[in-house]
Amino acid sequence: MPSFAPDRDIPSLAGKVILVTGGTAGLGLGSITELSKHSPAHIFFTGRNRKSADSLIAKLGNSAPDVKITFIPCDISSLNSVGEAAAAFTAQAERLDILMSNAGIMAVDPNLSVDHYEIQFATNYLGHTLLVRRLLPLLERTAEQYGDARIINLTSTAYGQAPSNGVDFATLKTNQASLGGMIPVPGGKWSRYGQSKVAQMLYSQELAKRHPALTSVSVHPGVIQTALFDHVDFFTKLPTMFFKKTPLEQGHWQQCWAATCPKDGLKNGEYYEPVGVVGHRTTRASKDTQLAARLWEWTEKELDAFERK
C-alpha cells in the first residue's frame, strides 16, 4: 500500500485554482485546510452555511495568508443553485486545476429534491454532474494550457448497497421509499445512498472515456465518523461498526492524494481506496460498462431538459 503523508507528499500547488464542493465541514473542510498549506493561488469552496464559511476563511487568513479563499453559496441538490454557483465561479476564475466533488448526504429518509429527484441521488450525483458540465470548457482549457486538470468524485464502498440493477432509473423521480436493500433495517436508506455512490463511480469512468484530456477518478475516503453520521440511528449505523476505520484527522487524505499525486500515478477513470490503492469493484453494477453508458445518456438527457427551461 502506498504511504502518504500530506506535509511531505503534496507538492507545491503554486498557481493552481481549486474548487471544493461542500467545503464548510468534514472532509471538504479538511481538504481545503490541507491544500492551503501548499500555496495554491486560489481555493473556492461551496456550501450552505455562511457562518461556517466565514469562520473557515478567517482561520485560513491566519494560517495561509497568501492563499485567496472564496466562498460560493450553493445547495448542490438544486440544479438552479448549482447553475448559479458555476456562473459565479467562471466569472472569477481563469483556470480550474482541481475540482473536488465532495458535498454529499448519507442514509437519509425518503425525500425529493426541489427538482423532483430522489434526494441522495440529486445531492451526491446529479448536482455534481451539472457543475462538471458547466465547468468542462474551463477544465479542458486548463488541461491544454497547463497539462493537467482533475475531477475527484467522492464515492464509497457503500456502492455495494445499491439495488441489484445499480441505478433504478424508473423511480429516480420519486422518493424511492420502497427501494429495497440489504441490512440494516430499513435498508432503503443505504440502498438509495449506494445507488448514488455507484453512479459517481461510473460517471468518473465515463468522463475519462469521453473527455480523456482530463483526469477523472472516484475515491472512497474510508469509514470516517463525520457529521454525515449525526442524524443516523443505531440500526442504520450498525454495518459501519464492523469496518476498519480511518482516523478522522486522516479522512481527507485520500482525496488530497488523488488531487495532487503525480499525474502518471493515476489511471484515468479508476476507483481508488485509501490511500492510493486501486479498489476492487465487488458488484456487477460497479463493473457494468453498459450501465455506465446508460447512466451518461440518462444524465445528459435530464440536464438537457433542465438547460431548456
Instruction: Point out the residues that are catalytic.
Output: 193, 197
Do the Cβ atoms of 21 and 28 come closer than 8 Å?
A: yes
Q: At a CB cut-off of 8 Å and minimum separation 6, what does 182 contact? A: 161, 190, 191
Do the Cβ atoms of 235 and 182 come closer than 8 Å?
A: no
Give the C-alpha separation, 217 to 267, whole Å: 8
> Cis peptide before 186, with omega less than 30 degrees from 0?
yes
Give the max Cα distance, the chain. Answer: 51
Contacts made by residues 163-166, CB under 8 angstroms, sequence distance 24+: 163/191, 163/194, 163/195, 164/284, 164/285, 165/285, 165/291, 166/195, 166/198, 166/199, 166/202, 166/283, 166/284, 166/285, 166/286, 166/288, 166/291
Count CB atoms within 10 A of the CB of residue 134: 18
φ/ψ of 140, rounded to 5, equals -70, -35
Of 298, 258, 305, 252, which is closest to residue 278 (Cα–Cα)? 258
Query: DSSP characters for 36-93?
Result: HTT--SEEEEEES-HHHHHHHHHHHHHH-TTSEEEEEE--TT-HHHHHHHHHHHHTT-
Give the C-alpha separation, 23 to 100, whole Å: 10
